[in-house]
Amino acid sequence: MADAERKLTNSATRIDFQTDPSRYRHWKLETDGEVATLVMDVDEKGALFEGYDLKLNSYDLGVDIELADAMERLRFEHPQVRVVLLRSGKARVFCAGANIRMLAGASHAHKVNFCKFTNETRNGIEDASQTSGLKTICVINGTAAGGGYELALAADHIMLVDDGSAAVSLPELPLLAVLPGTGGLTRVTDKRKVRRDHADVFCTTEEGIKGKRAVDWRLVDEVVPNSKLEETIGRRVQEFAARSGRPAGGHGIKLDPLKRVRSDQGAAYSSVSVELVRAERLAVVTLRGPDGPAPQSADRMIEQGAAFWPLRLARELDDAILDIRVNEFDTAAIVFKSSGDPEHVLAYDAFLEANKDHWLVREIRALWKRTLKRIDLTSRSLVALVEPGSCFAGTLAELVLAADRSYMLIGAREGNNARAAAIALAEANFGAYPMSNGLSRLASRFLADPADLAKAEAERGKLLDAEAAERLGLVTFALDDIDWDEVRVFLEERASFSADGLTGLEANLRFGGPETMESKIFARLTAWQNWIFQRPNAVGEEGALRRYGTGQKPKFDTKRV
């Protein structure tokens, strides 16, 4: 069945997003001054699930987790690197794309989440270029098919070897009856601005396009004969390095392994805890504020390294969200809570703001931006509960703004002397963390009237009680202790609704206002792909995805819907 779950290899019970270069099976990462070389050399026998081999540099989620990790490490551990050379370790093959047997056997839920993560990783490559000046040059030495070409599309510059056989292609439609699901169509039309009829020919031509036509049609930036390849690469590296604003001689910080203790009921990190309330289909994610004041200087921050609270918290939160996404499909809602002193959080935010041009602060904020975007794109209902003792201030207030709904308690709780709940906004809430639509969460929230945004801005730095926060439109409902039971009723009702209906509803309501290439990838392209991933022509017993490689031709329902 298309919906049968594959088994993870080595008797693993969860997919783990944490890795490090010493454990990579599929990539080699080498740095040399301002250049890093990231070589894709997929271990055929290193599949994440049982039942398929990763031939021809094809990939599954496990391969992509290593790629995402490598990009993070380049950003934090190697700030001196200005150019990443993305290459293949296999002769005459760059990358054959997502592994088809993996796709054919994966559940719909895994396929969708696999595509979501690979999309986020490619967006991350582009963010590294835009935010950090870390440029990527992709060298295609042979076949770059499907997801292989889509990976290249995330680069700043695509070089194709001109040897009469190396070609780029998006053969998903003719071969598998699905779409290129990792941003390919959107990047072809909106990033590389390939003419729409050329794009039509390209996407329906199984063998792809090579040589001069690939350049004429804007599919690659240049074709280079093998004899001049290394020399040309050298030149391009110099050119792109010259455009990078990364700090010469910057010293990186080590991304130490996360402190994480997992139990059947959830996970405990240093500043995040996840409580899986399975009976109610909830994941309660609690963020803890800093224990003390912000460091006195950027040097002190560097000394703290990966232990620096904003960085540590972002990495832990990111891991927690990814884990829920692919390992806890039955979770209906993620409930965000926090504990700590909002003044301390504001102090950290002030520190980040004062040092915003420091390379490490830039990276930490970019990581928060990506993590928050990941939350926006997570197909679980998002709820923020702002209770006494919480610290939803500045950067942490973004979680309240990312929630589909938020509830805030008025005053104290009977028999509990924790200080009444307060929310505080900081500079960071007004542009440091844009959503995929290009707007801050506050600007997206107040599309109707910019005056509401100005009113919120005027209250920066103040501790706002529940009634003030409700008046400013920062929370959905302010409730007193007697009415707080409404939250329970709401969460129960939410869990009773159709999971699919909610996914579609939230994907629409969360992204009002403008669309960008990035938001189009997750809306137009992904939504159509999700549809196609349900259709018998792709995933049915006689569908193309199931019949690929069997020697049998797929049988299609010819109705155009």
Instruction: Tally Cβ neighbours within 10 Å of residue 479.
Output: 18
If one asks whether residue 529 binds a second copy (CB under 8 A), the answer comes out as yes
Q: Does 197 sit near a second copy (CB under 8 A)?
A: yes
Query: Which range in 28-36, 159-167, 290-298, 512-520 contacts a second copy by CB under 8 A?
Result: 512-520
**H or E element that contains 457:** helix 450-458
Q: Which stretch binds a second copy (CB under 8 A): 296-304, 353-361, 421-429, 501-509?
A: 501-509
Q: How far is the CB of 221 from a second copy (least distance, A)?
A: 13
By CB under 8 A, is residue 436 in contact with a second copy?
Answer: no
Decide whether 55 or 445 has the Cβ nearer to a second copy: 445
From candidates 194, 366, 424, 478, binder to a second copy by CB under 8 A: 194
The verdict on 201 binding a second copy (CB under 8 A) reads yes
Is residue 447 a contact residue for a second copy (CB under 8 A)? yes
Contact with a second copy (CB under 8 A): which of 32, 264, 357, 493?
A: 493
**How is residue 276 annotated by DSSP?**
E
Task: Using the structure block, give the residue that is written with the tokens 């909610």.
Answer: 502
The residues, any chain, with a CB within 8 Å of residue 82's CB and separated by 6 or more, are 34, 35, 133, 134, 135, 240, 241, 244, 246
- Which 102-121 positions form the footprint of a second copy (CB under 8 A)? 108-109, 112-113
Nearer to a second copy, 239 or 557 (CB): 557
Interface with a second copy by CB under 8 A: which range of 37-45, 53-61, 187-195, 364-372? 187-195
Pairing of strands 260-263, 97-98: unpaired
Asked whether position 455 contacts a second copy by CB under 8 A, the answer is: no
Identify the residue among 26, 281, 312, 344 touching a second copy (CB under 8 A). Answer: 281
Which residues, including other chains, have CB under 8 Å from residue 454's CB and lie 6 or more apart?
A: none
- CA pair distance 245, 388, nearest whole angstrom: 43
| CB within 8 Å of 214: residues ≥ 6 apart | 160, 167, 168, 220, 223
Please report where in the chains the tokens 């006195």 appear, as a residue. 296
What phi and psi values does residue 282 have, to the nearest 5 degrees?
-120, 150
**369 vs 380 by CB, closer to a second copy:** 380
Pairing of strands 83-88, 405-409: unpaired
Structure tokens at 199: 């794009």
Q: Is there binding between residue 141 and a second copy (CB under 8 A)?
A: no
Taking CB under 8 A as the rule, which mask of x and - marks residues 50-89 in contact with a second copy?
----------------------------------------
Q: Which listed residue (30, 222, 256, 330) binds a second copy by CB under 8 A?
A: 330
Q: Note the helical H segments in 183-245.
A: 184-186, 196-203, 211-216, 229-243
Residues of this chain, 308-327, that bind a second copy according to CB under 8 A: none
If we measure between CA atoms, which residue out of 549, 506, 519, 481 comes closest to residue 119?
519
Nearer to a second copy, 183 or 290 (CB): 183
DSSP state of 304: H
Total interface residues for a second copy by CB under 8 A? 92
Q: Which of 148, 129, 335 is nearest to 243 (CA)?
A: 129
**Which tokens belong to 469?**
């926060």
379 binds a second copy (CB under 8 A): yes
Q: Does 495 sit near a second copy (CB under 8 A)?
A: yes
Question: Per CB under 8 A, does 218 bind a second copy?
Answer: yes
